[in-house]
A = this chain, B = another copy of it.
Amino acid sequence: MHLTLDAYSADKESLANKELIRNFLDNLPELIGMKKLAQAQVFEYDGEGNKEDWGYSGFVVITTSHVSIHTYPEKGYFAADVFSCSFFDYKKILSQFKKTFNFKTYEHQVIRRGLKFKRNV
């Protein structure tokens, strides 16, 4: 199961807050019953000549899963992914993102994939 989330008109201050992003990624797995393999990491992107495109890219690896986010504070946009071989409550995840980044307009997709693969759990 794979959730993609593209949010517009999100809160600029939150998208530009490295610690908030790191804490969000660090705490999200537990909220949805998943276990981290490592601490979340957040990297800065300077926009490479396009200052308006600067932002943070964050990642947390969970057992057989991951959560990622790429933020564009100047444009109020972010793109996030939650991927897992297991089922998860994507509405709960969406509401956590919403609570933290306070966006109004968004698109999300729930993608079924790897359907021929059988996990033991």
Contacts and interface: CB of A to CB of B under 8 A. Distances in A.
B59 A59 contact: yes
Interface size on A, as a range, is: 35 or more
B52 A120 contact: yes
A53 B63 CA distance: 10
Nearest to A51: B120
Nearest to A75: B117
A94 interface: no
Given A4-B113, A53-B120, A109-B111, 19 more contacts: A2-B4, A4-B111, A8-B116, A35-B48, A37-B45, A45-B63, A45-B64, A48-B121, A53-B121, A59-B59, A59-B61, A59-B68, A64-B72, A70-B85, A75-B117, A77-B114, A79-B114, A79-B117, A107-B116
B37 A43 contact: yes
B61 A113 contact: no
B113 A111 contact: no
Contacts of A38: 41, 43
